[in-house]
Structure 1
Amino acid sequence: MTDVAAHVADLTLRSRAAARVLATVPTKTKAAALRAAAAALVAAEATILAANAADVAKADASGLSSAMLDRLRLDSGRVRAMADGVVAVAGLEDPVGATIDERTRPNGLVLRRVRVPIGVIGIIYESRPNVTADAAALAVMSGNAVILRGGSEAIESNRAIHAAMVSGLTAEGVSADAVQLVQTTDRAAVGAMLAADGSHGGAAIDLIVPRGGKGLVARVQAEARVPVLAHLDGINHVYVDASADPAMAKAIVRDAKLRRTGVCGAMETLLIDRGYGDPDGLVLALCDGGCEVRVDSALSGRLPALPQATDADWDTEYLEAIASAALVDGVDGAIAHIDRHGSHHTDAIVAADPAVAERFLAEVDSAIVLWNASTQFADGGEFGLGAEIGIATGRLHARGPVALEGLTTYKWIGYGTGQIRG
């Protein structure tokens, strides 16, 4: 493809036209289209798996890590899971058109604030071809047109999944332009999407959602001229208060770190109240689970065989079986540490004292704050939101798991009877 900018501009222009139509499509029609898309995914399983095998072979030959290969690889079960996810989105409550609030002014003017689609959403993602189906389903159900730009390592898989999804959608009357895939692997396409702010007479992308590693997200946040919904790091903490039940604390700490070490909700730093009765037991529970624990000087004096944490450890998202641990002066020390080193993603407190817990919940400025629960619950499905487009840690528009409602904005509608402001 010789003119990447022109390709992206064309996709954006067609997406804008499709978004205007899709915004008014009834819930029943969108749901039927998604169910047809799910059936098309199942019917195209052999084609999708053949395309994926080609991607995996190429990626393996190029030296892609085993973790990335696992994210890339599809099998029959994963294809069926993709289809099931699309069906699940079709069954979710449609936020479009919902009244958020309503008021009648003294002059009789009725004002309603109602949910509407954002418009055109660009999704830039890596490795996981299932994002193609998830993102398309969430966009359609929330009334948004979407432009998908997957990683070069999954291009054949993404093309096959996209083709199946579109065949199902169009069979039920949804325009193919509502879900478009960037067909080039040229990295310039990412730059063109990030610059699509509608200036110079071009159509705009209203929101960019990056799904991938830190390098991708950092580039998107640095270069985008359109709004971005994302998180850069998941430097998540579990604070164990002196009042915590020891068995509960040990179970939560182990799960928060070791259930899945590579997810953005995994605990990276364990903070323990100096007044807690068995700090060594918490640390050793992680070690017994195969985790390398890097400890502060206070814990190092108690557990001299463990490596000592450096300043960089407190600011590191490991995404593997490594954690840092420190003793802190109660909830004040925990809040101060999280404020200094946290990434506003997910933080948890284990405590039996409700006053301590409520203070932690109120003062820790993260998108998700939990009491007596593992940080691994940082997931749209676990929140009852269905599929998610990602976790957002900013303070505007949406925070935490972003699902259908997070892909809408609102407008005010006024109903008058001739009122003027003379």
Structure 2
Amino acid sequence: MNQIYKEKTKHRLWLEHDPSTQNQGRTNLCVLGNESRNTGGNIHIFDSETDFTDMEVFKKNFVKRVESGGRLKMRVNYSQPAYGKYDLRDGDSDTEKKWGGEIRDEQGAFVEELQKDLFTLGYWITEGKDVPAIGAPMIYSGVFDKGVYSGLKTFQFEHMAKYGLDANGIIDAKTADAIKECLADKDFERPGVPVDISTIAARAFCGSAINKPERPQRFYQLPPSKSHCYKRYGNVCDTSTGVLSDVYHNDIWGAKEHIDALIKLAEEWKSENDVIEIGNISLFTGGRMPPHSSHQDGYGVDIRSAKVGSMQRASVENRHYCKDSSVRFARKARELGFGRIMTQCPHVTVTCNEYSEYTPSLFVVQYEGHHHHFHFDFWESGARIREDQENLDLSYCSSCIKRDECNSQHKRPI
């Protein structure tokens, strides 16, 4: 208690007794402030309060002796209010000592605390295009920017029903308590969100799949990688619809088995020291995602890395592209359940489809517009796609920067 007293003299405190445990002499010492943020114990009776500035006064006036069997038993609990008890919001900064939209005269790392908590729970706190090296610790800026806003608002949206939260991207008392409660749950898993994709036409739902899965009732967001083995590319915020239309990563939601397979693929690939890049999956609402004709059902993803799937990256030719790494990556994806893959590299197409384990199913196809990424579908295609001249002539060989050094027998004529 002496150590707590020395460190916390500026805080107003109270003592309380829980009548149901009075025979045990249980006493809680708690921060006086917003009731919903008290983390020192379950408050039932407020016995008294004071400025906790003098230990002798505290002892004399507020330490209650509760006798049981001739012995004094007292338990004191004390915790700092979550996030400094401030309603953190966009623009707050630990460096500037700006919390709740105002400059404060105290020390703290309250935004960093929020960043750590959200990331620990599996929420994105950055745009996601730049990540630390594989296996390196996460970097926390202490700045409440759009990344933090996005992660916080997504948490609120997922937990609206359970905790009665407003999805507004501001840390209020209810949200703070909800985050801390989730952190305390060792079995916590993100709950996802309900989704209604009944309006997707049958021909658009999982396209030409042999056995179409049941339409999912919930979508789950691909969480950030704790080991940084994948990151984002492209436009990571779709502003088309819904309460999450202003947040990052509203476009990487899908069926749970699909999301789990993506995470496993990236984890297994990190031994290549090659960070996977994730493009679009589906909107959190499901349905159309222009300009794609697919990506409606939570079972498709655009994916690439420096080495795989991308003969060109945006408007820059990719000298790191490796056709053999792309084959290994496609085969690994196939083993995890991705039954159709689109590319414009004929070496990947023919080599993978000749792989005896997967014949006669042709799971890699040529598809125009897929020279800078793979498209994976998490289902088995029932379409018979012939490896004929017309299909393979969709290849990107004529524009590939590695066309002159490519030794593949499947390279198309330039």
> TM-score scaled to structure 1, two decimals?
0.27
Flag the structure with higher helix content. Answer: 1
Q: Which has the higher contact order (CA 8 A, sep 6+)?
A: 1
Flag the structure with higher strand content. Answer: 1
Bigger radius of gyration among the two: 2
